[in-house]
Amino acid sequence: MASGVVKRVRSKGRRRNLPMSEINVTPFVDVMLVLLIIFMVAAPLMTAGVPLNLPETAANAVPNEDEEPLMVSIPVEGSLTIMDQPVADEQVVTTLRTILAERQSGRVFLRADGTIPYARVVQIMGALNAAGITDIVLVTETGGPRMDG
C-alpha cells in the first residue's frame, strides 16, 4: 500500500509542470471591442477627402461596387483632384487611363461643388468622353426637388 501512496505524489508533481491548455480570451475580446469602436468612429471620416458642397437632386443611388470608387472632384476653386491627389488639367486623362487600366470597373464618379459653373463641369465631362471614358456618374446629395408634381 505504501507504493500506491508514492505513485499519487509523483503524479501530482507531474501535473504541476504541464503547460496550461486553457486560453484566456478576455484580453482578446477587450482588444477587439476597442478596435471595433475605433473603426466605427473612423469609417465615416474616410468617405471623401475633398470637401464639396454637392448639389441636391431626386436621383436614385447607384448600386455599390466591389472596389473603391474612382472619384474625380472639382472643388470651389475649380482645380481637379483624382481621389485625394491634385492633378493638372492636362494630365487628368492620362492619369485616369493609367488608373483605369488596373481596375475592373471603368466607372468614374464626378463630384463637383454646387457653385462651380456648369460650363466647367461639362468641359471636364467632354474631355473624359473624348478620351474614351464613357461610364461617368455625377455624384449628388439626395433630397432635391422631385419636379413630378
* Mean local confidence (pLDDT), 60-65: 73
Q: Are 82 and 134 members of one domain? A: yes
CA atoms within 13 A on the CB side of 31: 5
Q: Are 68 and 96 members of one domain? A: yes
pLDDT tens digits along 77-123: 878 999 889 999 899 889 988 888 888 888 889 999 989 898 989 98
Q: Are 36 and 60 members of one domain? A: no
> Per the domain annotation, does 28 fall within a domain?
yes
For 118, the domain range is 56-142
Q: Are 6 and 70 members of one domain? A: no
> Per the domain annotation, does 84 fall within a domain?
yes
> Per the domain annotation, does 51 fall within a domain?
no
Q: Could you tell me which residues come within 8 angstroms of residue 125 by beta carbon, excluding any fewer than 6 positions away?
A: 110, 136
Q: Report the run of H or E that residue 71 belongs to, with start and end.
A: strand 70-74
- Residue ranges of alpha helices (H) inside 54-137 are 92-101, 118-130
Q: Are 32 and 92 members of one domain? A: no
The pLDDT value given to residue 21: 78
Of the chain, the end-to-end C-alpha distance in Å amounts to 101
In the predicted structure, residue 4 carries a pLDDT above the cut 80: no
Q: Are 61 and 41 members of one domain? A: no
Q: Are 66 and 27 members of one domain? A: no
The pLDDT value given to residue 149: 65
The pLDDT value given to residue 133: 86
Tally of structural domains, the chain? 2
The x, y and z cell numbers of residue 44, run together, are 465615416
Inter-residue contact 116 to 76 (CB < 8 Å)? yes
